[in-house]
């Protein structure tokens, strides 16, 4: 089958003919209809997590998928041939930039009925991340205050919507061209990051989600209320990340040292910092499908590319041309 692979870390992504996936007893075999591009694809390609996530080369990239089940393993109970699904396959089993993929049934859910395949493919990773940040990690309650940077992006636009559904007050940073979009998604406060310092405008936030890193992350700590939590999406990683991936003890120490500066700064302010890396979950996707079908959440799509233009789709995202939401790759 045709797929888009890298042969080595930091190497170019290119089209290749690869063997069709093997279907395990608890796997569903999916004809890919659409996939979407995430910053995580570039992080895997660059070898950012190569000491913790050891992908055998060549590796097919792609973390989001929607499609149709064409075969099932002998122990599959939740799906049947012909089902329309969406998923973020678990780490070390990614590979949605391909004609077919085998996915563990626990990582998939039936596609939201109200969404097209293209819309559904834009959802899994960012929706799972938003749910796990807001519900599982921060336990956001009505009336609490949430700051999310880059609100027009795929993750930010989803966090805004889910946080509002949970009853939170939401602030976001975005360019002036995106003000109307993020306001329509539910943002209560929109700060133009090009002209205004968010740290001068905000205070007392219970949760802040940072996908920028560096000085922006350190400044984000200053707007948190005592006991507030900052979640870093781009790093620095911490010992919890090593635990999540089941890494050996030495990696926990290494990652703890990498995040020591920001954790120390957080402690001095009486707040908390943690690196965030989402986990595959079909159970969460089933809950999220209900929210999409009920109209509480909606996908935001920047543009679509045909499957043959997958290389161009990744280059488009990496160059920073995305204005809002996700880039989707279709095989219609």
DSSP character string of 100-165: EEEEEGGGEEEPPTTS-HHHHHTSHHHHHHHHIIIIIIS---TT-EEEESSTTBHHHHHHHHHHHH
Q: What element of type H or E holds 254?
A: helix 249-258
Q: How many domains does the chain have?
A: 2
For 213-262, how does the pLDDT look when each residue is reduced to its tens digit (9 = 90+)? 889 999 999 999 999 999 999 877 777 776 776 766 666 676 777 778 99
**Residues above pLDDT 90, as percent of the chain:** 87
Residues 133 and 271 in one domain: yes
To the nearest whole number, what is the mean pLDDT of the chain? 94
Name which of 22-31, 201-210, 253-262, 297-306 the model is least confident about: 253-262
Distances (CA, A) of 28 to 101, 125, 228, 267: 8, 19, 41, 45
The pLDDT of residue 131 is 98
Helix (H) or strand (E) holding 179: helix 179-185
Q: 21 and 65 in contact (C-beta within 8 Å)?
A: no
Q: Is the pLDDT of residue 111 over 80?
A: yes
State the pLDDT at residue 249.
67
Token pair of 112, please? 């939201």
The C-alpha atoms of residue 74 and residue 89 are separated, in whole angstroms, by 19
Q: What is the pLDDT of residue 247?
A: 66
Which residue range is the domain that position 247 belongs to? 129-275
How do residues 30-54 score in pLDDT, each as one tens digit? 999 999 999 999 999 998 888 878 8
What's the confidence (pLDDT) of residue 63? 98
- Looking at residue 54, its pLDDT comes to 86
Residues 79 and 144 in one domain: no
Contact residues for 249 (Cβ-Cβ < 8 A; gap 6+): none
Tell me the C-alpha distance between 210 and 148, whole Å. Answer: 6
Does the pLDDT value for residue 210 go beyond 70? yes
Do 97 and 33 have their domain in common? yes
- pLDDT of amino acid 258: 72
Q: Are residues 30 and 107 in the same domain?
A: yes
Q: Residues 310, 315, 320, 321: is their CA dihedral positive or negative? A: negative
Question: Residue 7 gets which letter from DSSP?
Answer: S
What's the pLDDT score for residue 244? 73
Convert the pLDDT of each residue in 319-331 to its tens digit. Answer: 988 989 999 999 9
Q: Is the pLDDT of residue 70 over 90?
A: yes
Summarize pLDDT for 142-158 with one digit per residue, the tens.
999 999 999 999 999 99
SS3 98: strand
Are 171 and 239 found together in one domain? yes
CATH number of the domain enclosing 235: 3.40.50.720
**Among the listed residues 122, 124, 136, the one whose alpha carbon sits nearest the alpha carbon of residue 231:** 136
How many CB atoms sit inside 10 A of residue 69's CB? 21
- Residue 212 is predicted with a pLDDT of 87
Average pLDDT over residues 164-170: 98
The answer to whether residue 283 sits within a structural domain is no
Is residue 104 domain-shared with residue 163, that is, in the same domain?
no
Q: Do 186 and 270 belong together in one domain? A: yes
Can you tell me the distance from the alpha carbon of 22 to that of 1, in angstroms, rounded to the nearest whole number?
13
Would you say residue 295 has pLDDT above 90? yes
Task: Indicate which CATH number applies to the domain containing 70.
Answer: 3.90.180.10
Mean pLDDT of all residues in 303-326 = 95
| Tens of pLDDT, residues 179-190 | 999 999 999 999
Mean pLDDT to the nearest integer, 261-283: 95
Strands (E), the chain: 2-6, 14-17, 27-37, 59-60, 64-72, 84-87, 100-104, 108-110, 145-148, 169-174, 189-192, 205-210, 224-232, 272-275, 301-306, 326-330
């Amino acid at each position: 089958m045709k797929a888009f692979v890298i042969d080595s870390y930091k190497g170019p992504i290119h089209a290749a003919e690869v063997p069709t996936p093997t279907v395990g007893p608890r796997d569903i075999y999916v004809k890919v209809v659409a996939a979407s591009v995430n910053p995580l694809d570039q992080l895997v390609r660059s070898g950012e997590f190569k000491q913790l996530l050891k992908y055998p080369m060549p590796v097919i990239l792609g973390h989001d998928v929607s499609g149709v089940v064409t075969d099932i393993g002998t122990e599959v109970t939740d799906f049947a041939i012909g089902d329309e699904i969406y998923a973020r396959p678990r780490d070390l089993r990614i590979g949605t930039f391909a004609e077919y993929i085998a996915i563990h049934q626990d990582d998939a859910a039936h596609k939201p009925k109200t969404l097209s395949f293209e819309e559904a493919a834009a959802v899994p990773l960012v929706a799972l991340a938003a749910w796990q940040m807001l519900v599982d990690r921060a336990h956001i309650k009505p009336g609490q205050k949430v700051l999310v940077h880059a609100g027009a992006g795929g993750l930010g636009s989803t966090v805004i919507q889910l946080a509002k559904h949970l009853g939170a007050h939401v602030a976001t940073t975005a360019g002036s061209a995106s003000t109307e979009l993020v306001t329509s998604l539910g943002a209560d406060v929109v700060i133009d990051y090009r002209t205004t310092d968010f740290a001068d405008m905000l205070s007392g936030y219970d949760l802040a989600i940072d996908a920028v890193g560096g000085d922006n992350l350190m400044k984000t700590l200053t707007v948190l209320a005592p006991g507030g939590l900052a979640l870093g999406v781009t790093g620095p990683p911490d010992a919890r990340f090593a635990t999540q991936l089941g890494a050996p003890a030495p990696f926990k120490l290494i990652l703890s040292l990498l995040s020591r500066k920001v954790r120390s700064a957080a402690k001095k302010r009486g707040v908390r910092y943690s690196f965030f890396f989402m986990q595959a979950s079909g159970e969460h996707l089933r809950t999220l499908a209900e929210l999409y079908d009920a109209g509480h959440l909606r996908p935001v799509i920047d543009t679509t590319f045909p499957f043959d233009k997958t290389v161009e789709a990744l280059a488009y995202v990496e160059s920073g041309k995305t204005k809002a939401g996700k880039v989707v790759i279709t095989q219609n």
